[in-house]
Amino acid sequence: MSSPLPPWHLWGVEQTLSPVSGAAVQSPVTSTNQLCRISYKRPDSFRFMFVATIMSGVGPGGSPVSPGHATVLFNVYTGIGRSVVKLLSFERYLFQWAGALSVGQQKFSTGVQGPSRDDQFPVANNFIETIQGQDIQIEATATVLTPTAGDQVNIACSALLCPNVHYRPDWFVEDFAGEEIGGH
């Protein structure tokens, strides 16, 4: 029985997050959404691409957004079998504006600088280009901070995942389970 959707249907998406500034006296209202979910039948290594774009913003009463900054964090939850590893703040983007909001400003990456493995002798050589797992979820969390409570910034966040090497045993018998017949 075939599934109505290909297995990679949830391997990439764009969601708009709309955090609201709380100014200096209140906590900001963060916005979090799940971007991707992989439930693969076997463990594999996946390449990734993260993207965040400032789409728009509005201050209280329709005024322009005050100078400030927005932060986007990409959190990764990955597991094999019954294990789960939470990689919080796996990737971090910081947008800053001193005047008008930088609508259209975009940040993206296909690799991240992981944390130092030795606090006594920190060396920045922990570059990560793949995520290992059988079940993987990616979520994005956005926060905005300005001196004006109620400033809202809309940020489009995307995450794309694909197998690092897509070796499939069915290639040798030419019996493709997905929508791969005829190169589609």
Q: What are 177's two structure tokens?
A: 């389970």
Please check whether residue 20 lies inside any domain of the structure.
Answer: yes
Range with lowest mean pLDDT among 82-91, 124-133, 170-179: 170-179
**Stretch 11-25: mean pLDDT:** 84
For residue 182, pLDDT over 50 is answered with no
pTM (predicted TM-score)? 0.84
Distance CA(65)–CA(98), nearest Å, equals 11
Predicted confidence (pLDDT) per residue in 49-63, tens digit: 999 999 999 999 999
Predicted confidence (pLDDT) per residue in 160-180, tens digit: 998 888 666 666 666 655 554
Please check whether residue 36 lies inside any domain of the structure.
Answer: yes
Please give the share of the chain, as a percent, with pLDDT higher than 70.
82
Please check whether residue 58 lies inside any domain of the structure.
Answer: yes
Distance CA(69)–CA(121), nearest Å, equals 31
Distance CA(94)–CA(127), nearest Å, equals 19
Indicate the number of domains in the chain. 1
CATH number for 96? 2.60.120
